[in-house]
Amino acid sequence: MKKVAILLTLALFVFACSDSPSDQSSDAPPPKSMVDSEPVADPKGIGEIKNVELNSPLNQEMVESGKAIYDMKCAACHKLTGQRVVGPGWAGLTAKRAPEWIMNMTLNVEVMLEKDPAARELLKECLVRMPNQNLTTEDARNVLEFMYSNDEAGE
């Protein structure tokens, strides 16, 4: 009797777990994941900067001001070449990132590192959170102008 009960249980288990074509519908959407998908990166980043008007030619006063800010607040962690020190090198940065993203990263670093996928990838690479340098919007714009000048010089 035990053998019959075991066989019946085993048969029910196999039947219940089988992939019967009548149980599946090709029109049914796949089940939703229990985990939210990774957010799609906004090329402008997260923050108050939504549009940046670039200067052509570059404004040399802004470049000089941006260089002074770089020397004082950025040079310890970022090189003007592609070399990574603590943070990534700046060479070619203006070709990789939108000007709005760069400014949002400098002005809104905590939120960018928490929510922006591109910034999160940089954090994984560098392993050190960029500190908030308390730049004003004008300071960040001047640093951006200096970054463009640096990329023009390196071409």
What is the CATH number for 97?
1.10.760.10
Task: Name the domain count of the chain.
Answer: 1
Supply the range of the domain harboring residue 114.
Answer: 60-153
The answer to whether residue 132 sits within a structural domain is yes
Does 108 fall in a domain? yes
Task: Look at residue 13 and tell me if it is in a domain.
Answer: no
Q: Model-level pTM?
A: 0.73
Q: Looking at residue 33, what is its pLDDT? A: 44
Please, what are the averages of pLDDT over each run of 10 residues along the chain (155 residues)? 59 52 52 49 92 97 98 97 94 96 97 95 91 97 98 86
Q: How far is CA 5 from CA 2, 9, 11, 17, 126, in A?
A: 5, 6, 10, 18, 61
**Tens digit of each residue's pLDDT (9 = 90 or more) over 50-72:** 999 999 999 999 999 999 999 99
Does residue 24 belong to any structural domain of this protein? no
